[in-house]
Chain A
Amino acid sequence: MLGQLLSSLTDGLLLGFVYGLAAVGLSLIWGVMTVINLAHGPVIALGMFGTYLLFLKGGCNPYLALLAVAGMGLVFGFLIYGVAVHRVLNAPHLSTLLATFAVNMILIGVGTAVFTTSPHNIDFSLGSLEVGPITVPATRLVAALGAILFTAALYLFLYFTRPGKAIRAVANNRKAAELMGIPSAWILALSFGLGTMLAAVAGGLISTFFPFTILSGGPYELKSFVICVLGGLGNPLGALIGGLLLGGLEGLIPTFMPVSWVPVVEFGLFILVLLFKPSGLLGAK
């Protein structure tokens, strides 16, 4: 019993890192340009299919494929920003919501036409690891490490490189950034690209152990929202920790009650945080 509990908790926490990574992407975009990216889910799904195709058709190791998926995610985010977001950025929030929702619908539509909605999966295993009573599939452990790696890389980028610092400057005061010679439109596009990249990578990591369809991104998008609220929207570190919290809960809950209660608890928590600590569990005040 205890062994099983520990195993599922570990499982959940490892998955939580990947949830966190997806949420960091959403949080970054919000933090820099106060846009809620409703195309987050399908981008996660495209990350899954990108990895799948490179693995199946290109014969690529899934983790190698992931690096390519990251690059494609970055470029794809640039495109989404340029085509759908840039022009409505200064319009009321509803416009950016509608714009990213339109992108969401287009991606799901095209994805359904190309991949149908039947489940796909990557037939790949690294065996499993046993530590005492705990057994975890190695792919999950690698996925968690990958998520940590990408989050750490983002942090280093934002704090120790010129374009990264420019992202923080634009997030803090776009007008002042322009006055200092920072091309804010490019920096916004870069931020959107990075947010999209992280979503795609999270999708790719998940695809190494769960089957998926073009619609699979949806639940992860919702989880990203919950996590962002837990951790404080716009706070990437909070997002990672929120991810762990959510993953941990998902690991524990099924041991005590039917799995179908998981979303009830998650969204109950979401509402409680919104009511009592709207700046997030880690947010100021």
Chain B
Amino acid sequence: MALMEVKSLASGYGEVQILWGVDLNLEKGKLTTLVGSNGVGKTTLLSTVMGLLKPRQGTVTFGDRDVTNMSPHARAKAGMVLVPEGRQLFTTMTVYENLEMGAFSSRARANFKQNLEKVYDLFPRLQERAHQKAGTLSGGEQQMVAVGRGLMAEPEILMLDELSLGLSPLLSLTLFETLVRLKGTGLTMLLVEQNVNMALAVSDYAYVLAQGKIWLEGEARQLMKNDEIRQAYLGVVGH
């Protein structure tokens, strides 16, 4: 059963159209990766899915609700949560306050304590830094706050845009392990990653975005074997 369904979504900025009819089907409990070269429109797609950008055409369905015309905060309240590209933390507020703001909606607030424990359990560093201003943290710590804040919102679907950008290989690995742990809890996720290798390795399913449309889709392990994918996105030189 699809938890989130995107149908012929078209979107862009002003005169420029970036997406020309994108279809996604995100299965409940699955980890899906969206692959695409720089500037192809991955972030644009996530922004449109969250309602930060108005679609020119198409629909977004979440559960059994058509959310196409809902405001971003209403979508978040309904359980659609995006950890945006570039972290977008509340830099002047403390780590704890960032986590509190993650749990702003009434649904998430009800389980604040348990969720906070879970987040501290995933990222013990955040507990140590709880009362430090988020803007003064290291890049890796900031990424943990971004993910932790997203989890505090009690997502039914968690979308992560460029989780590992700018992080050391070791820290990226840790974050990927976290994703696998989260998947174990049944969380549905959509991942956008520069590190396509690692992303496909942990994913169930994958979409490839090219020229404003889904160019290819399939089981992640099938796509990893695809020659075109290997050349274009995995940095493997052709045979």
Binding site for B on A (CB under 8 A): 162, 165-166, 168-169, 172-173, 175-184
Q: Are A168 and B90 in contact (CB under 8 A)?
A: yes
Q: Chain A residues near B212 (CB, 8 Å)? A: none
Q: Are A176 and B105 in contact (CB under 8 A)?
A: no
Q: Are A180 and B76 in contact (CB under 8 A)?
A: yes
Q: Chain A residues near B82 (CB, 8 Å)? A: 179
Q: Are B73 and A175 in contact (CB under 8 A)?
A: no
Interface residues on B, range: 20 to 34
Q: Bound state CA distance, A165 and B134, in angstroms?
A: 14
Nearest residue in A to B102 (C-beta to C-beta)? A180
Nearest residue in A to B154 (C-beta to C-beta)? A181
Q: Chain A residues near B72 (CB, 8 Å)? A: 178-179
Q: Are A168 and B76 in contact (CB under 8 A)?
A: no
Q: Chain B residues near A184 (CB, 8 Å)? A: 73
Q: Bound state CA distance, A173 and B86, in angstroms?
A: 12
Q: Chain B residues near A166 (CB, 8 Å)? A: 101, 104
* With A166-B101, A182-B104: A173-B153 Cβ-Cβ less than 8 Å: no
Q: Which of the candidate stretches B92-100, B121-129, B172-180, B191-199 sits at the interface with the other chain?
A: B92-100
Q: Which of A169, A173, A181 has the most CB of B within 10 A?
A: A181
Q: Bound state CA distance, A14 and B111, in angstroms?
A: 47
Q: Bound state CA distance, A179 and B105, in angstroms?
A: 11
Partner of B104, one of A162, A173, A175: A162
Q: Are B90 and A173 in contact (CB under 8 A)?
A: yes
> A45 to nearest B CB, angstroms?
33
Q: Bound state CA distance, A136 and B88, in angstroms?
A: 51
Q: Are B88 and A176 in contact (CB under 8 A)?
A: yes
Q: Chain B residues near A179 (CB, 8 Å)? A: 50, 52, 72-73, 76, 81-82, 84, 88
Q: Are B149 and A180 in contact (CB under 8 A)?
A: yes
Q: Could you list some 10 contacts between A and B, CB below 8 A?
A: A169-B90, A169-B93, A177-B101, A178-B76, A179-B82, A179-B88, A180-B104, A180-B149, A180-B153, A183-B71
Q: Are B93 and A165 in contact (CB under 8 A)?
A: yes
Q: Bound state CA distance, A178 and B104, in angstroms?
A: 10
Binding site for A on B (CB under 8 A): 50, 52, 71-73, 76-77, 81-82, 84, 88-93, 97, 100-102, 104-105, 108, 149, 153
What 10 A-B pairs have minimum CB-CB distances, sorted nearest first?
A181-B76, A181-B105, A176-B88, A178-B72, A172-B90, A181-B104, A181-B77, A169-B101, A183-B73, A178-B73
* With A180-B102, A180-B149, A181-B73: A175-B84 Cβ-Cβ less than 8 Å: yes
> B154 to nearest A CB, angstroms?
10
> B153 to nearest A CB, angstroms?
6
Q: Chain A residues near B50 (CB, 8 Å)? A: 179
Besides the contacts A177-B90, A178-B71, A180-B149, what 14 more A-B pairs have beta carbons closer than 8 Å?
A162-B104, A165-B97, A168-B92, A169-B93, A169-B101, A172-B90, A176-B89, A176-B90, A177-B101, A179-B88, A180-B153, A181-B76, A182-B101, A183-B73
> A281 to nearest B CB, angstroms?
20
Q: Bound state CA distance, A253 and B88, in angstroms?
A: 48
Q: Chain B residues near A169 (CB, 8 Å)? A: 90, 93, 97, 101
Q: Chain B residues near A181 (CB, 8 Å)? A: 73, 76-77, 104-105, 108, 153
Q: Chain B residues near A165 (CB, 8 Å)? A: 93, 97, 100-101
Q: Are A175 and B76 in contact (CB under 8 A)?
A: no
Q: Bound state CA distance, A213 and B50, in angstroms?
A: 50
> A62 to nearest B CB, angstroms?
37
Q: Are A175 and B52 in contact (CB under 8 A)?
A: yes
Q: Are A178 and B90 in contact (CB under 8 A)?
A: no
Q: Bound state CA distance, A267 and B89, in angstroms?
A: 38
Q: Which of A168, A175, A176, A184 has the most CB of B within 10 A?
A: A176
> A176 to nearest B CB, angstroms?
4
